[in-house]
Structure 1
Amino acid sequence: MEIIDCHSHWATKKGYIFRTDEELQNQEKIWRTPVKYFTEQEQAEYFRSSNARVILDMSFTKFLPIEEMQEHHDYALEFQRQNPDVVLGHWLQFDPRRCEESIKEFHRCLNKKLGFIGFCINGQVTGVPASDPLWAPFYKTSIDAGIPVMILTGLTGIGQNTRGGLGIRLDDGHPRHIDSVAADYPDLNILAARPGYPWQDEMIAILRHKKNVFYELHGWGPRQFDASLKKEIRGRLQDRIMFGCDFPVLRYEKVVADWQSEGYSEEIVSKVLYENAKQYFSFS
């Protein structure tokens, strides 16, 4: 089955999402998957063999000096240039307190015209929730460019199982921030990302109320979804929900098999794994 993966990370040494020994050890505790580095070629072949086309997120770059950030972005774009059959694009993350240089870097990457480039907003890790006015220039830039913004919500694995959670406040990822952004920017297309646990019902209400909000479910296996979310996938939200794997902490062979074993119809599985994202992003 063909897959459009709306959100995964890098398994290469240069791009790996977790950077410290503590973070790497936590991967095995939280997701129960071992850390394994891929070469660039191995990563491309894994996507290819999984029949997956992917939008990648190199999330740690937002705190790097601008020269290092640009180097990593160029590395990502070159990987896409070499593997256009499996890499559809990239989510770029920025610290909104570095607005001017961030917007400039966004345009630099966008002007490469290699495929999809969009903002991913992580209010929990930056400490700036999505409804904060500091994000306004990013929303306006995305509206002008005609591209969606990904806004992370729900429980994050970053800092999980550590004392103080690395200072992260989960409330900075509450769905109400997405609701505020959707109301304030009706021309902005928003892709809420991750199951909204422990506020799943609030997230569902926002999806039902705000036509400019869609939902992408990376980071969790479908067996762990709340009953209310499973009901909506079969029902009213079946055209608004998309697949994200969260590779490399989760792998396609397990996550896709779980989607196929949860009792959803073939039509719904096809919508979630491929059709909805194809239409949303206008991918061919």
Structure 2
Amino acid sequence: MNVDDLIAIDIHTHAEEPCSHHRDDGYNEFQAAMAKYFKNPAGAEGMLPTVPQTAEYFRERKIGAVIFPVDSERETGFRRYSNEEVAQIAAENDDILIPFASIDPAKGKAGAREARRLINDFGIKGFKFHPTLMGFYPNDRMAYPLYEVLAEEGCVALFHTGQTGVGSGMRGGMGMRLKYSNPVHVDDVAVDFPDMPIILAHPSFPWTEEGLMVAQHKPNVYIDMSGWRPKYFPQIFVHYANTILKHKMLFGSDWPAITPDMWLADFEELPMKEEVRPLILKENARKLLRI
């Protein structure tokens, strides 16, 4: 990857479609509800972009992309997209894709072993955790064996925070419990693993100020600005991005739910300082990912 040739690095993109097997029962309804929440017809009409299609989209725009599946098998029953498969396709497109993986912390020591193997054999740079989708509090001690591997290997831990489009409007919210994704629970993780880079994904609504608090207080905590179109960002979120957290804010789209084209168009309209824009779009991620 030649970062100098890129206009941005998107820290938050999803590998939604399995390449090696068909969609599970109920997956169409789940994606239709997501599409309605994000006003994105792609999830409801046919298949979402595959990882190779994602690479092509981002290559055309000269945007690097961190891409990952989400291991939510235990809570949703949907088979996870293979971490190895994502990593292999990313390796074939390493001019544009940066592979992250996802492991449910409830997998315990087996999950920790898998993480170390993925890091050493497949070049995984970080791990995505979705507390609501996985059904756990980030500071639950059962997750610590997995975090210990990430900390030892210098990998990034990326946590979904705030409300989620997953299950939105579905009966019982598809069983998703929003309480798990308050970013204040990640504060304990930042204390116990002070050298592990941590990213709080999204503006953390309705706990936006809690997320800003944790990122300001803990040197190893960053915030990605994905999951919301910038025109809807709370004023305090924009203010912190422009000032005391300007070196800790990261561009992220939440592809394919929100496209970079859409996000970047909105970002152009935000009252951001000119010296802050390149930090958010690329330089902060470049430093964090050490590329």
The reply to whether TM is greater than 0.5 is: yes
Separation (CA, whole Å) in 2 of partners of 1:261 and 1:17: 38
Change (3 A) 1:209 1:40: closer
Deviations 1:223-270 (A, max 9, x none): 111111011111111111001111111111111111111121332121
- Give the number of equivalent residue pairs: 277
C-alpha deviation, 1:163, in angstroms: 2.5
Question: Who is 2:173 aligned against?
Answer: 165
Which residue is 1:49 aligned to?
60
- 1:29 maps to 2:39: no
1:108 maps to 117
Q: CA deviation at 1:83?
A: 0.6
Percent of paired sites with the same residue: 26
1:120·1:149 contact (CA, 8 Å) conserved in 2? yes
Cα RMSD (Å) of the superposition? Answer: 2.3
Q: Where in structure 2 are the equivalents of 1:1-284 lying within 5 Å?
A: 2-10=7-15, 12=17, 14=19, 20-35=27-42, 37-38=48-49, 40-60=51-71, 62-63=73-74, 72-90=82-100, 92-114=101-123, 116-283=124-291
Q: How far has the Cα of 1:13 moved from its partner?
A: 5.1
- Write the deviation string for residues 90-123 of structure 1: whole angstroms up to 9, x where unpaired: 2x22222211221222122212254x43222222
Structure-1-length-normalised TM-score: 0.89
Change (3 A) 1:210 1:221: same
Distance 1:17 1:195 in 2: 30
Query: Which amino acid counterpart does residue 126 of structure 2 have in structure 1?
Result: G
Deviations 1:119-152 (A, max 9, x none): 2222212221101101111111111111221122
Kindly tell me: are residues 20 and 117 of structure 1, through their superposed partners in 2, closer, same or farther at Cα, counting changes over 3 Å? same
Q: Give the superposition deviation at 1:6.
A: 0.8
Unaligned runs of 5+ in 1: none
Greater CA deviation, 78-87 or 162-171?
Answer: 162-171
- 1:183 deviates by 1.9
Q: Hey, what's the Cα distance between the residues in 2 that align with 1:118 and 1:192?
A: 13
In 2, the alpha carbon distance for the partners of 1:96 and 1:279 equals: 27
Q: In structure 2, give the amino acid aligned to 1:187.
A: D
Does the CA-based 8 Å contact 1:238-1:271 persist in structure 2?
A: yes
